Structure 1
Amino acid sequence: MAQRILIIVTSNARMGEHAKPTGLWAEELAVPYYALLDAGAEVEIASPRGGQVPLDPGSLKPAGQNDPAVERLLADPVAMDRLAHSRVVAELDASRFDAVFFPGGHGTMWDLPLDAGVTRAVEAAFAADKVIAAVCHGPAGLVTARRPDGQSILAGRRVNGFTDAEEAAAGLDQVVPFKLESRMRELGGRFESGPLWQPYAVTDGRLVTGQNPASSRLVAEHTLALLGLAAAPATAG
């Protein structure tokens, strides 16, 4: 039976009260999406509100200039239909999937931590010992999930995500509702990081976290390894 993967993405298209558009970062979905599909997995896409998923316009270039996976995504009618009709996270049982994967994009910072369905999905996956993976701002979907003892699922775990230094370099450290690295540290995560904008990922047990868009492929490779669909990558983390 094929492995089943639940990809949870943002529904949010604006940076809070700011006019700046945001959403899902295309590369962070496209790269793991096709890595999983090409390895024989079945993929479901869900979001807090369901329906149309906003793609961050900053993650898209003119046709022919994007990462090959993004070009493939934009030309794939099945994938685009899934993004147009994403499932509602709260209506799904994450424990029935083999893995839960969170792509990033700044949109995640405003809606994933506040969505009870997302929190329940992560807690259910964690309790069932499923693979949980997130890249860049995707770990925003993990910060409200708790273990049965009340502690964060990140407590005591080696973790990674979009760094405070990268947020400052992007000029958005005063725009985001919280700094992801700082929050993960506050929750007891043993935060590790690589150079700015370079691929970096960390695996701790069944948890995989990666730093930035360039880390999308590395996080996908770590996830595939945990699912038994590929050999473990001999790279960072």
Structure 2
Amino acid sequence: MKVLFVLTSHDELGDTGNKTGFWIEEFANPYYKLLDKGVDITVATPKGGKAPIDPSSDTEDAQTEDTKRFKNDEAAQKVINTTKVLSEIHPKDYDAVFYPGGHGPLWDLSKDQDSITLIETFNAAKKPIGFVCHAPAALKNVKGKDGEPLVKGKKVTGFTNTEEKAVELTEVVPFLVEDMLKENGGIYSKAGDWEEYALVDGNLVTGQNPASSGLVAEKLYEMLK
């Protein structure tokens, strides 16, 4: 099995002067869940090269077993520092695609044409497509074969408005994931803030927040088997 991970290349948190990027736990947990099952993983970003880590995901209170493992894993560090360029990726080479979150995707992956085309190609081939937390932002401009938003009429979840308010970034982000999914016609639902929650609808898997990253990976793996 070959799975493509797509990470953000964006590291500026709006006009705050602070940094953002991808959330370590949302990469590390699914990465190891799949890697330990023998899945071959490739990581790509819009710009290629080093993927930016969100500093907020690197604090002491954000650490998990998987983030600690990542910190001590030279091979995984190398993967993050030498990502492939998204435009050079061929969907036919992979069985599924997975998008970890962090705030970065709100700015770049939401409108990156290579990413949009990639997701549409995976979807048309009925291959699993997975997103967690802020990563459903990458679905903002993705269309289904009928020309309608891909999420229209589909059961979806993603980072909630109340979770965004809790991290005090409602006024900083370019859009709210929950609002966007609803505006695009998605049948949005959620659990309590910071609770594990993931949904499958057809070949689409979405998870609500960092705590849901492992569940999304498990569901993705089940679909691949």
Contact 2:160/2:178, CA 8 A, preserved across alignment: yes
Contact 2:49/2:82, CA 8 A, preserved across alignment: yes
Corresponding residue for 2:58? 60
What code does the residue aligned with 2:46 have? P
The whole-number CA distance in structure 2 between the counterparts of 1:15 and 1:155 is: 29
2:122 to 122, 125, 132: 125
Corresponding residue for 1:101? 98
Superposed CA deviations along residues 117-142 of structure 1, whole A, max 9, x for unmatched, are: 11111011001111000100011112
Deviation at 1:65, TM superposition (A): 7.9
Deviation at 1:95, TM superposition (A): 3.4
Distance 1:65 1:133, change over 3 A: closer
Structure 1 stretches (4+) deviating beyond 4 angstroms? Answer: none
Contact 2:160/2:177, CA 8 A, preserved across alignment: yes
Corresponding residue for 2:170? 173
Please state if 1:110 is matched with 2:73.
no
Please state if 1:204 is matched with 2:201.
yes
The whole-number CA distance in structure 1 between the counterparts of 2:5 and 2:121 is: 15
Corresponding residue for 2:67? 70
What code does the residue aligned with 2:10 have? N
The whole-number CA distance in structure 2 between the counterparts of 1:206 and 1:39 is: 20
Q: Which runs of 5+ in 2 are unaligned?
A: none
SS across alignment from 1:112: coil
Aligned residues: 225
Deviation at 1:16, TM superposition (A): 2.3
Please state if 1:164 is matched with 2:161.
yes
The whole-number CA distance in structure 2 between the counterparts of 1:105 and 1:81 is: 20
User: Alpha carbon RMSD of aligned pairs, Å?
Assistant: 1.3
TM-score of the aligned structures, taking structure 1 as reference length: 0.92
Distance 1:169 1:66, change over 3 A: closer
Contact 2:111/2:140, CA 8 A, preserved across alignment: no
The whole-number CA distance in structure 1 between the counterparts of 2:62 and 2:31 is: 19
Corresponding residue for 2:15? 17
The whole-number CA distance in structure 2 between the counterparts of 1:43 and 1:99 is: 10
Deviation at 1:74, TM superposition (A): 1.5
State, as a whole percentage, how many aligned pairs show the same letter: 41
Distance 1:65 1:17, change over 3 A: closer
The whole-number CA distance in structure 2 between the counterparts of 1:222 and 1:33 is: 13
What code does the residue aligned with 1:110 have? W
Q: Which runs of 5+ in 1 are unaligned?
A: 229-237
Deviation at 1:168, TM superposition (A): 1.2
The whole-number CA distance in structure 1 between the counterparts of 2:91 and 2:213 is: 22
Superposed CA deviations along residues 136-194 of structure 1, whole A, max 9, x for unmatched, are: 00111122111222111111100000011111111111110001110011111000100
What code does the residue aligned with 1:22 have? T
1:7 to 5, 10, 16: 5
Contact 1:32/1:216, CA 8 A, preserved across alignment: yes
The whole-number CA distance in structure 2 between the counterparts of 1:25 and 1:45 is: 14
SS across alignment from 2:108: helix
